[in-house]
């Protein structure tokens, strides 16, 4: 089709489009330069697009697929979605890419005097390492430790607290107690009780989406307790915070009274909940979290986003 338009005209059309779309000049400014009306300048830009004289490409500061992000957001009724495109399929690369995008998105969600809640997991720890400029806010730990190294669970809130310059509320406790009475005794300890109460004031929560059985610290913990197989037989495929989910996103209050951290009731009350997770082992878990209604903003990778969308077709 471009053969039917004079080369001289093609050059003018392309010039108008580049000046308007790339350099941000107004149509009126371009029209005055070219000696035509503003409407004629607009038609030039449209002609350049129709003739394929230039290509519009998204140039985002972050490695995000804007089309997949929009479709995922709309399909699951989310407040936001960030579908990242990692340059490698290696787990550490996907994790780092998700962490970087989450760092930017979470930082932009925080306001002065907010209370921010953080779950556990390597991605959240890495996210906090990449957050360098956030408003003054308090930071509270949303779950107890899921492994034997308490410092791993504390690293995220310690790192963010240094940047945020607010108070820190750690949960010096295990993620899950061996029995209900033990959970009650632990939760009654003054510092733990204070942190659990502070969770009621959280405005932004950031939680890893745990994929059972092989991509979840909580699943590992239940494996050590000899209970993982039974929980999976009862339908558990994921957790977010202390809330266990089945494949349809239904909440499974099987062991709620033994969990120490943000309850499902508290999670429902948080204005903005980020669910982050991607890579191998998270496929069913991310879909379950999306279906659960507990997550407002998701940060995941392109492969998992496509799988989630395919699972909802028809």
The 10s digit of each residue's pLDDT in 12-48 is 888 888 888 877 788 888 999 899 998 899 999 888 8
Q: What angle do CA 55, 61, 66 make, to 5 degrees?
A: 60
More confident residue, 293 or 10: 293
Predicted local confidence at residue 152, as pLDDT: 62
Considering the domain boundaries, does residue 181 fall inside one?
A: yes
Pick from 57, 19, 16: which is nearest to 39 by CA?
16
Within a domain: 202: yes
Determine, yes or no, domain membership for 246. yes
Give yes or no for a contact between 208 and 120, defined as CB atoms under 8 angstroms apart. Answer: yes
Q: What sign does the CA torsion over 244, 249, 252, 257 have? A: positive
Does 116 lie in the same domain as 16? no
Cis peptide before 190, with omega less than 30 degrees from 0? no
Mean pLDDT, range 141-165, rounded to an integer? 83
Please check whether residues 78 and 30 belong to one and the same domain.
Answer: no
Query: What pLDDT does residue 29 have?
Result: 87
* Residue 291 near residue 310 (C-beta atoms within 8 A): no
Share of the chain above pLDDT 90, in %: 75
Alpha-carbon torsion (233, 235, 240, 242), positive or negative: negative
Render pLDDT for 105-149 as a digit per residue (tens, 0 to 9): 999 999 999 999 999 999 999 999 999 889 999 999 999 987 655
What are 140's two structure tokens? 């509270």
Whether 196 and 76 share a structural domain = yes
Same domain, 38 and 73: no
Largest Cα–Cα distance of the chain, in whole Å? 84
Q: Based on the structure, what is the number of domains in the chain?
A: 2
SS3 at position 59: coil
Q: Which residues contact 39 (CB under 8 A, 6 or more apart)?
A: none
Instruction: Tell me which of 36-45, 76-85, 200-209, 259-268 is least confident.
Output: 36-45
Do 302 and 173 have their domain in common?
yes
Element (H or E) spanning 137, and its range? strand 137-141
> Does a structural domain hold residue 29?
yes
Looking at the structure, do residues 80 and 200 belong to the same domain, yes or no? yes
CATH no. for residue 82?
3.40.50.1360
The candidate with the shortest Cα–Cα distance to 290, out of 311, 269, 259, is 311
Least confident piece of the model among 6-10, 93-97, 180-184 = 6-10
Residue 129 lies in a domain: yes
| Residue 159 belongs to some domain of the structure | yes
Q: Is residue 158 part of a domain?
A: yes
Q: Residue 56 falls within a domain, yes or no?
A: no
Q: How high does pLDDT run on average in the chain?
A: 91
* 181-188 long-range contacts, CB within 8 A, separation 24+: 182/258, 183/257, 183/258, 183/259, 183/260, 186/260, 187/260
Cα(132)–Cα(122) distance, integer angstroms:
18
- Answer yes or no: do 11 and 120 share one domain: no
Q: Assess whether 301 and 156 both reside in one domain.
A: yes
| Same-domain check for residues 257 and 195 | yes
CB 75 within 8 A of CB 293: no
Q: State the residue range of the domain holding 158.
A: 66-311
pLDDT at 105: 94
Confidence of residue 61 (pLDDT cuts 50, 70, 90): low
Q: pTM for the whole thing?
A: 0.81
CA separation for the pair 76, 295 (Å, rounded) = 10
* Tokens (6 digits) for 256: 């709620």
Does residue 58 register a pLDDT over 70? Answer: no
Mean pLDDT is lowest, of 2-16, 99-113, 119-133, 203-217, for: 2-16
- Residues 33 and 93 placed together within one structural domain of the fold: no
Nearest-10 crossing angle of helices 38-50, 7-17 = 110
Q: What is the mean pLDDT of residues 223-228?
A: 95
**Residue 212 Cα distances to 58, 68, 246, 254, angstroms:** 35, 25, 10, 15
Q: How many residues appear in the chain?
A: 314
CATH number at residue 38: 1.10.10
Looking up tokens 């407002």, which residue turns up? Answer: 296
């Amino acid at each position: 089709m471009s053969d039917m338009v004079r080369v001289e005209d093609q050059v003018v059309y392309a010039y108008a489009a580049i000046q308007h779309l790339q350099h941000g000049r107004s149509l009126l400014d371009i029209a005055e330069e070219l000696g035509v009306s503003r409407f004629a300048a607009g038609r030039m830009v449209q002609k350049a697009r129709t003739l394929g004289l230039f290509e519009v490409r998204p140039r985002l500061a972050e490695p995000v697929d804007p089309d997949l992000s929009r479709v995922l957001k709309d399909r699951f009724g989310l407040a936001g979605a960030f579908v990242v495109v990692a340059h490698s399929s290696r787990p550490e690369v996907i994790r780092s890419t998700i962490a970087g995008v989450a760092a930017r998105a979470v930082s932009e969600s925080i306001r002065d005097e907010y209370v921010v809640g953080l779950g556990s997991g390597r991605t959240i720890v890495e996210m906090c390492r990449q957050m360098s400029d956030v408003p003054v806010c308090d930071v509270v730990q949303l779950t107890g430790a899921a492994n034997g190294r308490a410092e791993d669970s504390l690293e995220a809130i310690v790192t963010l607290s240094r940047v945020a310059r607010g108070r820190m509320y750690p949960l010096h406790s295990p993620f899950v107690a061996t029995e209900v009475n033990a959970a009650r005794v632990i939760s009654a300890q003054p510092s733990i009780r204070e942190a659990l109460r502070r969770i009621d004031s959280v405005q932004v929560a950031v939680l890893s989406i745990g994929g059972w059985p092989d991509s979840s610290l909580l699943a590992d913990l239940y494996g050590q307790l000899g209970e993982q197989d039974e929980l999976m037989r009862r339908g558990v495929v994921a957790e977010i915070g202390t809330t266990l989910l089945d494949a349809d996103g239904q909440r499974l209050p099987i062991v709620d009274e033994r969990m120490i951290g943000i309850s499902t009731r508290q999670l429902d009350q948080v204005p903005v909940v980020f669910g982050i997770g991607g890579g191998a082992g998270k496929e069913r878990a991310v879909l379950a979290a999306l279906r659960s209604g507990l997550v407002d903003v998701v940060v995941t990778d392109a492969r998992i986003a496509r799988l989630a969308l395919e699972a909802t077709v028809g």
